[in-house]
Every structure is written in structure tokens, then in C-alpha cells.
Amino acid sequence: MLNGNHKELAPRRHDNLRELIRGSGVIRVEEICRRLNVSPATVRRDLDQLEAAGAIRRVHGGAVSVESRLDEPLFDDKASIAAREKNRIAEAALKFVETGDTIYLDGGSTVLEFARLLRERTNITVVTNSLRAAHELAGRGPRLILIGGELRRLSQTMVGPLTRFTLQELHVDKAFMGTIGMTMKEGLTTTDPSEAFTKELVMSRARQVILLADSAKAGKVSFARAGRLENIHTLITDKELDKEFAKELTKTGIKLIKV
Amino acid sequence: MLNGNHKELAPRRHDNLRELIRGSGVIRVEEICRRLNVSPATVRRDLDQLEAAGAIRRVHGGAVSVESRLDEPLFDDKASIAAREKNRIAEAALKFVETGDTIYLDGGSTVLEFARLLRERTNITVVTNSLRAAHELAGRGPRLILIGGELRRLSQTMVGPLTRFTLQELHVDKAFMGTIGMTMKEGLTTTDPSEAFTKELVMSRARQVILLADSAKAGKVSFARAGRLENIHTLITDKELDKEFAKELTKTGIKLIKV
DNA sequence: ATTTGATTGAGCGTTTTTGATTGACTATAG
DNA sequence: CTATAGTCAATCAAAAACGCTCAATCAAAT
């Protein structure tokens, strides 16, 4: 028996572990063993639990803090294929934009792709909460209005209660939205409640809501609800969309465009 | 900044890699190997993944930043004119920032320089209308709140009546302001009325107003008035400031810091 | 004191990551 | 046209990390 000293109880150990990870943003299993004086097996079990609770994110060799930018490039292997889908979806969305329109651009990679296509349009007004979309259009292009709010690092979007004050002064013709998950039952879901709050608010201020989402989003449920599918007027997605889901959608009156 | 010996976790490595690319805009594989201490094979795999995630763009021999193109065109030469003075002014301003503070960052190259120095501070809240400052702090650093409003392209700041609705919900401890011109008679002046409107509003919401302006601004008058000098509590400037102007300033109770 | 259920650490086969090797490709020079 | 240098993708083997199982251990309850 190596260390007769002090073995800590699981809850305290979890707290310490959280603290360790928050401290440096990233830590390796081996180091956790050293610092907490436990075996790798135990560390892995702890990490599993903390990940299930959403407190951290595991990676090969250790774990990273969820607040840190380190875990931003979270992508499945479909990500590279999805790039082409996203581009086609964005192209299709372009047909909805008319001269004189005021449109809203949400966060998310598909909408960002769409934003890039608007760089040459000078006859529209773009309202957005996405810092990346703003950056795309900052040099030239449409009249650009950013809504105020707290920056959420992971998504690079302005979210939360502060977004309300600018948004309630505005109306937009068309809102182009992204999402993490969509199901008939839960509607739109996203990872962050503040993000969800702003999404829902935006949709209530738009005359027409157009959702840009590749088929992988269908059936997925994320953490926070961001509005019912009934709020959507049009969904632009790819051809792989689940047939059953498609049927349900059209039944509720949502226009479906598959590219 | 150098990590000599121990192997880093993949996410951290990706993070550093992004930073490297963002820093110089371009980088070749060979150099990444040297800087991160890994083999070319690993570097290429990392680059593949980062490209799939849209974080960078690969080119033969290395990789380039995706946002490198429209970065700081006319802004840079303006910034380089009095770069040394601006940097010293920014360093001096840093002394005013205390833990827990909520500070406002205005537009302009001097304040932008100041923003860069805040990248490692995580214990403060930054409110800003400057897209460039936001961009500096978007990856890491303080809690970041952007005020809403219409983007003015030339200055890359959010200005105009829409800024009112977010601002009136906020109070800040210290506002770090820039300006185009300052005189005893006209006070602060800037080129755009909307810009002036927002500046004036911000200063009314700040407990302490700190003006960052090199000495060339003294005596200059621009188009739109953005508030009287009495609104300023502290001016940080360089040693070349006109003696007469300095005397008048201190007479009105403004604290003067010359660096 | 004994039982019980949970927690822990070690052993072991599997998976992931990494760096070296190889052959293909491109561009430039001779 | 060939040679050469540089880069790249694919493949492979070694090392590290992983998940799983099982026995030992521990805390709490009887």
C-alpha cells in the first residue's frame, strides 16, 4: 500500500478535478493521477461521470474544459462531407433574398456559408448576432447591423438577455436560422440556454423564418429548447433527410426544400 | 511560449496551431514541426482536421488563415504612424484596470492597442462597440459584451441610435475612449455624427472616463461634437502635448498622464 | 462484528495516436 | 527531355491510452 495518507471521497475528488481542468483548460490523465493520487482507472471513471454531467469534455489522453476554446473544433467525421451540403444549402437560401430585404443571420456554420454569399449584395440590410458573419461582411457588402449582447465564445455569437433590447426595436423580413438539433417533439434545440433565448426572440420578430440545417440535425436533441417547429416557415436541407420526418414536416405546413 | 519537451494533448496542439496561423497569416509545415515539436505527419493530420472544421485553409507547403485576406487594410498604416506612442499610452492605461472591473472600449487605433493588452485578463468584463476590439478578444480573455448598432465601415464600430438600447441597460466602471480631435472650446470631435452620438452616450454611462489620445489630436477639430472635455476624468497622452493645452486641462480638473 | 453495496486498482486485449518509410506528384533547373 | 528537390498521401509498426473484467478494499448499515 503506497499512500496510507489521505484518500479523498469521490465528490471532493470530482470538485478538485473540475478545478484542475478549469485552471489550465486542459489536462492529461497521467497528471491527474499524480495530483490527486489515484489510479488511471479511477481518473477515467471520474472523467466519464463529469463528461456525462457536461462539466468537461474528454479527449484522448485527458480532458479539456468546456468553457475553453480548446473544444470548439468538435466535429464528427461527417464534417468534411457536410461542407459541400452546407454550401448547396446556402446557395438555395440565396434565392430567398430580394432587393430591399432586411434579413437576419443566425450563428452556425451553414448560415456562415450563406453569409459569405452575401458579400457582393449592397441592396439589403443584414442583422446578425454572429461575430463571424459580421466579420465576413465587415469589409463590404450589405448594410450591417449587429445586435448587442454577451459574446458566447464557443459559437462566437451574441446571446442572452441583453440581445433583447436591440431586437425589440427591429423587425426583419426573413430570418435565416441554424440549429443543433430538430425533432417534431422538442422542436429546435441548441446547446446553450442563452443562445436558445435569443433564437426564439429573433424568430418572433421575423415575418418569415427559414431554417438552414443539414439532414444530420434531424432527430437530434440538444440541451436547450429554442422554439417549436411551427415557428419555421421553410426548411432548406439536403436530400438525405429522413422520409418520415419530412412527411411530418409537410403535414404541419412547413415548406421543404431539399438540395 | 515554447513547449520544449512533453507531448501536448491534441486539442491544445490544435489550439496552438490556430494561434500560430492567426498570428502570422501563413505558415509552412516545416515551421509548425519546429514550433510544436511534432512530426510532419502529425502536422498534416492536424491541418486536415482544422481545415475540415473550417478553421484554416491548407495550401501546398503549409496553411493560411481563413480570415487573413480582408484583415486590417487601411487601418494598419494608420496604426503604424504613431505606433510607439500608442503602445505606450495603452500600457499606461492598463494600470487603471482592476480585478472585477467592467470597462468600455471605444473605437480607434489607440484603444485597439489597449484591447490587445487585455487578452490574458479573464477577471474583467469588457463592453465595446468596436468590431476590431471584439475580434482581438473573441478567442480568449475577458467576458465580452458587444453593444448593438449599425456597423460604420470606416471605423468598424457600431454606432447610431440603435446603440442606445443596449447601452441604457449597462453601467461601466471605466470607459476608455478615443477621439479624432480635442480642443478646449469644441471638446471632443469626431468625423461622424452617429459615432459622436454613441460616444457621448457611453460617457454618460461611465463612472470614470479615460481618454486615450496622442498629442497630435490636441487642437484638432473634426466634424461632429462628441462631448465636452469636462466629461473626461483622465487623459493619457504622450510627452509632446502642447503646454498651453495641458495647463488649461489641469485647470478644469482633468488628470493628465504623459508617457 | 458481519454483511452489503459501492469504489478502487491491476491485468489484459483493443483502439487511437504518432512518427518513419515509401512512392507519387509538382515545379524548377539543367 | 531528364534530374533534382520539395511536398504530400498512404501505409505500417510501436507506443500510449483506452475500456473491460475481476478481485481487493472500503463505508455504511444491520
Closest residue by Cα to residue B197 from B239, B159, B171, B166: B159
CB neighbours of residue A223 within 10 Å: 14
Closest residue to A71, CB basis, from B11, B143, B163: B11
Q: Is the pLDDT of residue A3 over 90?
A: no
- Identify residues of A whose CB sits under 8 angstroms from chain B CBs: 25-26, 28, 59-62, 64, 69-71, 73, 75, 79-80, 83, 109, 131, 134-135, 138-140, 143-151, 153, 156, 158, 162-163, 165-166, 168-170
Closest residue by Cα to residue B7 from A26, A99, A98, A216: A26
Q: Is the CB of B138 under 7 A from strand D?
A: no
The protein footprint on chain C, as nucleotides within 7 A of a CB, is 7-11, 16-21
Q: Is the CB of B59 under 7 A from strand C?
A: no
Chain A residues touching residue B145 (CB < 8 angstroms):
148-151, 162
pLDDT given at position B67: 57
* B33 nearest nucleotide via C1' and CA: C19
SS3 B207: strand
Tell me the C-alpha distance between A39 and A35, whole Å. 11
Angle formed by the axes of helices A109-116 and A79-94, to 10°? 50
* Residue B21 near residue A70 (C-beta atoms within 8 A): no
Chain B residues touching residue A31 (CB < 8 angstroms):
none
Mean pLDDT across B10-30: 84
Window from A57-71, A155-169, B35-49, B188-202 with minimum mean pLDDT = A57-71
Tell me the C-alpha distance between B202 and B208, whole Å. 11
Dihedral sign computed on CA atoms, order B22, B27, B33, B39: positive
Q: Where are the alpha helices (DSSP H) in B25-154?
A: 29-36, 40-52, 74-81, 83-94, 109-116, 131-137
pLDDT given at position B69: 42
DSSP of A129-165: SBHHHHHHHSSSSSEEEEPPEEEETTTTEEESTTHHH
Closest residue by Cα to residue A203 from A236, A226, A237: A226
Grid cell, residue A74, equals 468538435
Q: Is the pLDDT of residue B74 over 80?
A: no
pLDDT given at position B76: 40
Chain A residues touching residue B115 (CB < 8 angstroms):
none
Q: List B177's β-bridge partners, or say none.
A: B211
Higher-confidence position of A180 and A2: A180
Chain A residues touching residue B162 (CB < 8 angstroms):
145, 166, 169-170
Sequence-distant (≥ 6) Cβ neighbours of residue B86 within 8 angstroms = B79, B109, B110, B113, B214
pLDDT (tens digit per residue) in A31-61: 899 888 889 999 999 988 888 777 788 899 9
Higher-confidence position of B231 and A221: B231
- Residue A7 confidence class, pLDDT cut points 50, 70, 90: low
pTM for the full predicted model: 0.68
* Residue B238 near residue B259 (C-beta atoms within 8 A): yes
Q: Is the pLDDT of residue B186 over 70?
A: yes
pLDDT (tens digit per residue) in A116-159: 889 889 999 999 999 989 988 988 889 999 999 999 987 889 99
3-state helix, strand, coil in chain B (%, to 5): 40, 25, 35
Chains A, B: CB contacts under 8 A, how many? 118
Tell me the C-alpha distance between A182 and A179, whole Å. 7
pLDDT (tens digit per residue) in B216-245: 899 999 999 999 999 999 999 999 899 999
Closest residue by Cα to residue A142 from A101, A93, A96: A101
